[in-house]
Amino acid sequence: MEKILDLIGSKVVKAFQANGYDEKYGKATLSNRPDLCEYQCNGAMAAAKEYKCAPFMISDKVADSLKGNPMFESVDSVKPGFLNLKLSAEYLAQYLRRMAEDPTRLGCDKCENPKTIMIDYGGPNVAKPLHVGHLRSAIIGESVKRIGTFMGHTMIGDVHLGDWGLQMGLIITELKERKPDLVYFDETYSGEYPQEAPFTIGELEEIYPAASAKSKEDDAYKEAAMQATFELQHGKGGYQALLKHILDVSVSDLKRNYENLGVSFELWKGESDAQPYIPDMVEKMKKDGYAYISEGALVVDVKEDTDTKEIPPCMILKSDGASLYNTTDLATIVWRMKDYQPDEIIYVVDKRQELYFTQVFRCARKTGLVKPETELKFLGFGTMNGKDGKPFKTREGGVMRLEYLVSSINEEMYQKIADNHTVEEEEGRKTAKVVALSAIKYGDLSNQASKDYIFDVERFTSFEGNTGPYILYTIVRIKSILKKYRAQKELPQNAKILAAHSHSEKALMLELCKFNGMMEAAFQETAPHKVCAYIYDLANAFNHFYHETKIMAEQDEMVQAGYICLLDLTRQALELCIETLGFEAPERM
C-alpha cells in the first residue's frame, strides 16, 4: 500500500506541474508546525529562485490547483511561500480502513527485491558467563533481524561464539590440575572419549575465573595454558574432546539464557568453525599478491587514498604463524559466502571494534572474499552505563552478569505489580517477567544504537514516560476496552473506521497512517529506535484520545463501533511493532 506521504506528494507534484513548475519542487513532508498543519511543502521557496518570482506567487497558484481535491481538508498558501496541508478526515479514514483490511501487515508491503542477509550478533564467549556487554548485541541484533524478516528478507542470525581463544586453554589447564586422572590427559589413550562431560555448567563457570586469576599471577601456569591452547588448536585428541564438552555444556546454558530474553539464532556457529578455512584462504591471499610479510607477520594493506586517519594493515598471521581474531572473522566470511551466498552481512558489535571491522571489510573486499556488490555493514553500539555514567557494574563493583540483571528487574517489576493490585503470586510473577523484558529491551532499543545510554532501572520499569511498561500498559488498556465491548455486544456487520469526530481522534489516526513508512525506514536505516519512537507517539496519541472520548458510553452505535475498529487497529499496530522489537504484551497487568 502506498505511503501516505507519497500519495500526498504525488498530488502536490501534479499541482506544481499543472502550473508549469518542475516536479522536483513538489515534495511533501510531515509538518514541523503541527499547530498549523499536518503536512507541508516548502518547494515554492526553492522554485522561486529558478522562476525568478516571489515564492508565494508559486505557492498561491499551487494551492489554488489543490483546493477542492477530496484528499485535503485545507490547503493554505502562507507567506513567504509555504504550503500548509491538512488531510481530509474521510480520506484519512479510508486509508486506515485499507490498513485494517490487512491485519498481518497493516498495509506495509514487503520489499520488492528480498535479500538474504546474515546477521552476526550475540557474540558470547564460551565458558565465560554472559554479561551486560552481550546484552545490547543480542537485543539490537534480534530486533534488526525481526524488522528485516517483516520486510520480507531472509534473515539468518549467527551467534558467532567466541570459542577459540586462550580461555579454552585456561579451562583445560585448570581441569588438568584438579582432575589429572581424567582420560583426556592420558597421552597413551587411544579409545573413544566419554559422552558425559566431566563438569557441570556451575563448575565450568567457576573454573574459568579461577584459571584466569591464576594465570595473571603465575607465569608458568599461563605458559601451560598457552601451550594447551596451541595443542588444542593443532588437533590434540583429548583436548578436542574436552572442547566439545565445554561447548555442549556452555551452549545449552547460553540457549536457556537467550530464550529468557526472547532471542534466538538460526546458526550456532563459532570461531572454531572458521578454522578449517584459514589455510586455503591464506594461501590464496599470498598467491594473489595481497598478503606480504611485514616485521615477521603476514599482512594485507587496507589503507585508501581518501582516508583521513591512518588505517593500519590487516594482520592475517602472527610471526609465529598463529591466527588472530581477524583471521577468524575473514575465514568466517569465507564459509558464509560459500554456504549461504548472502547479499549482505550485518555485524552488531560494540562500536569500539569499528576500526577493526573497517580493516576486516576492506581486506575481504580487496582479496575477493565477497562479491563487489555484497554489502558488509557494521552496526556498532555504545556502552550501557550505570547511573554514575560508568559501565554498568554490580553494587560491589564487579561485572554484572546478565542473569542477575534480568532476575533483579523481574523482581523489581513483580514488586510494582503486587503493589498496584492484588494478584496471585504465580500469575504476578509471569506477568512481571513479560513486563520486565519490555523494560530492558525498550530501554535499550529506544536509544539510537551507536549512543551510550544509562541503564536506569527506576525509569525503565516505570509505567509512565517513554518506557516499555508504558507501551504494554497502553496495549493492555486497549485490550480491556475491546473485551468489555465484546462482552456487551457484537460488532455490527458494517462497522468501520469513520472520519474523525475530534481533534484527538484525528491525531491518533495521523499517527497510525505512518506505519508502513516508519517500518521501511527502520529497516533501511537498521534503526529499531524508529519503531520505539513511533509506538511512543502512537501510545500517547491513543491515551490522549481515550481521556477525551467516552467510548463505552457513546450512544450512537455506529460511532461507537467506529471507535472500536480504530482501537483494534491501534492495538494491532502496537503489537506488530513490539513483536519486531522482540517482546510481547500480557493479557492483563
Q: What character string, x for contact with ligand ARG (CB under 6 A) and - otherwise, covers 58-87?
A: ------------------------------
Q: Which of 349, 369, 384, 405 binds ligand ARG (CB under 6 A)?
A: 349
Give least dist CB 194 to ligand ARG, A.
29
Give least dist CB 465 to ligand ARG, A.
32
- Percent of the chain as helix, strand, coil, to the nearest 5: 55, 10, 35
Give least dist CB 377 to ligand ARG, A.
12
The amino acid sitting at 105 is R
Output 120 or 505, the one with its CB closest to ligand ARG: 120
- For the chain, state the CA radius of gyration: 29
Q: Is 162 in the site for ligand ARG (CB under 6 A)?
A: yes
Q: Give the 3-state secondary structure of residue 35.
A: coil
H-type alpha helices, 121-184 = 132-150, 166-178
Q: Which of 329, 444, 511, 568 binds ligand ARG (CB under 6 A)?
A: 329
Output 120 or 444, the one with its CB closest to ligand ARG: 120
The amino acid sitting at 238 is G
Beta pairing class for 29-30 and 39-41: antiparallel
Q: What character string, x for contact with ligand ARG (CB under 6 A) and - otherwise, covers 85-124?
A: -----------------------------------x--x-
Output 270 or 562, the one with its CB closest to ligand ARG: 270
Give least dist CB 545 to ligand ARG, A.
44
Task: Find out whether 115 and 344 touch, Cβ atoms under 8 Å.
Answer: yes
Q: How many residues bind ligand ARG (CB under 6 A)?
A: 8
Picking from 149, 165, 169, the residue whose alpha carbon sits closest to that of residue 157 is: 149
Residue number of the CB closest to ligand ARG reads 123
Picking from 137, 143, 113, the residue whose alpha carbon sits closest to that of residue 124 is: 137
Q: Is 56 in the site for ligand ARG (CB under 6 A)?
A: no
Residue reference for cell 524508529? 530
Q: Is 125 in the site for ligand ARG (CB under 6 A)?
A: yes
DSSP per-residue string spanning 519-568: HHHHHHTT-HHHHHHHHHHHHHHHHHHHHH--STT---HHHHHHHHHHHH
Q: Which of 277, 347, 460, 534 binds ligand ARG (CB under 6 A)?
A: 347
Give least dist CB 350 to ligand ARG, A.
7
User: What is the spatial distance between Cα 288 and Cα 543, in angstroms, rounded to a whole number?
Assistant: 64
Output 1 or 267, the one with its CB closest to ligand ARG: 267
Helix (H) and strand (E) counts in the chain: 20, 13
Task: Find out whether 489 and 553 touch, Cβ atoms under 8 Å.
Answer: no
Q: Is 160 in the site for ligand ARG (CB under 6 A)?
A: yes
Output 349 or 512, the one with its CB closest to ligand ARG: 349
Output 63 or 126, the one with its CB closest to ligand ARG: 126
- Other Cβ atoms less than 10 A from the Cβ of 132: the count is 22
Output 91 or 381, the one with its CB closest to ligand ARG: 381
User: What is the spatial distance between Cα 330 and Cα 285, in angstroms, rounded to a whole number?
Assistant: 11
Output 3 or 145, the one with its CB closest to ligand ARG: 145
Q: Which residues bind ligand ARG (CB under 6 A)?
A: 120, 123, 125, 160, 162, 329, 347, 349
